[in-house]
Amino acid sequence: MKKVLELKNVSKKYQAKNGEIEALKDISFFVNEGEFVSIIGPSGCGKSTLLSIIAGLEPKTEGEIKLEEKIGYMLQRDSLLEWRSIYNNVMFGLEIGHKKTKESEEYAIELLKKYGLYEFKDKYPNQLSGGMRQRVALIRTLAIKPKILLLDEAFSALDYQTRIMVTNDIFKILKNENITALIVTHDISEAISMSDRVIVLTKRPATIKNVHTINFEMENRTPLNCRESPKFSKYFDTIWKELDVHA
């Protein structure tokens, strides 16, 4: 298996006005090509910090990060631009990365068609449901052809029913496009249902408490159908007990 991302002893201290805030301490893990890995931990423990460092948006204090592939980044807010059509929102990702060529535009159109958004291309974000908006945000990210996608609480703004459907939808698209995913969430069910491994973090400063391999031993696993498996609740209980939710 090829490692596409590896962290070794990564630490992060923020210099704040009233002193130092230690967010991450000695974080080491790897992600193999094609794998879906979730990171779960209590609110404020350092999860977004970790993704920002991997994305290169924030400097680390110590440690090493090996990143073999191009990454994309998806956040809690879909951050679609309300005044731009769906088509122009998808193109925006290419524009800001100075990647808009005839080829990249054609690839984006292909994605819009493949994932049922082309007929909505002239609509505006406020004319779409939360689930559809999230799909547009995903297509915008995929248009830059990332190999690894970082998702930071990407579904948490959606209501429960929508969240389950959107998670399923996005899982299938990512598998179909051979994307490797690193998913940050505080939702245990979401982590289990999407991942090959779940990394549990402690409260701040985040350290790795445990790593769980998730295997439902089923063909055509999807986030929806693995929720039916008896193993699902076993994984849930184990991780629930480990998570320091009262911290």
Query: Strands 36-40, 180-185: parallel, antiparallel or unpaired by DSSP?
Result: parallel
The first and second tokens of residue 174, run together, are 């990512």
- Give which of ligand ADP, Mg ion, none residue 239 binds (C-beta under 5 to 8 Å, depending on kind): none
Interface stretch with ligand ADP, choices 41-49, 92-100, 230-238, 239-247 (CB under 6 A): 41-49
Shorter beta-carbon distance to ligand ADP: residue 133 or 203: 203
| Total interface residues for Mg ion by CB under 5 A | 2
CA 159 → CA 19, 73, 126, 164, 167, distances in Å? Answer: 38, 22, 17, 9, 12
Q: Exposed (0-12), middle (13-18) or buried (19+): which is 57, by Cβ within 10 Å? A: exposed
Interface stretch with ligand ADP, choices 37-45, 112-120, 123-131, 207-215 (CB under 6 A): 37-45
Rounded CA separation 21/42 (Å): 16
Cβ 103 vs Cβ 153: under 8 Å: no
Shorter beta-carbon distance to Mg ion: residue 58 or 177: 58
Under the binding rule (CB under 5 A), the answer on residue 48 touching Mg ion is yes
Rounded CA separation 105/86 (Å): 13
**In angstroms, what is the minimal distance from the CB of 5 to ligand ADP?**
18
Options 6, 8, 21, 75; binder of ligand ADP; rule CB under 6 A: 21
Under the binding rule (CB under 6 A), the answer on residue 1 touching ligand ADP is no
Shorter beta-carbon distance to Mg ion: residue 47 or 147: 47
Neighbours of 1 (CB within 10 A): 8
The first and second tokens of residue 21, run together, are 């805030």
Binding positions for Mg ion, 156-175, rule CB under 5 A:
none
Contacting residues toward ligand ADP, per CB under 6 A: 14, 16, 21, 23, 41, 43-49, 204
Contacting residues toward Mg ion, per CB under 5 A: 47-48
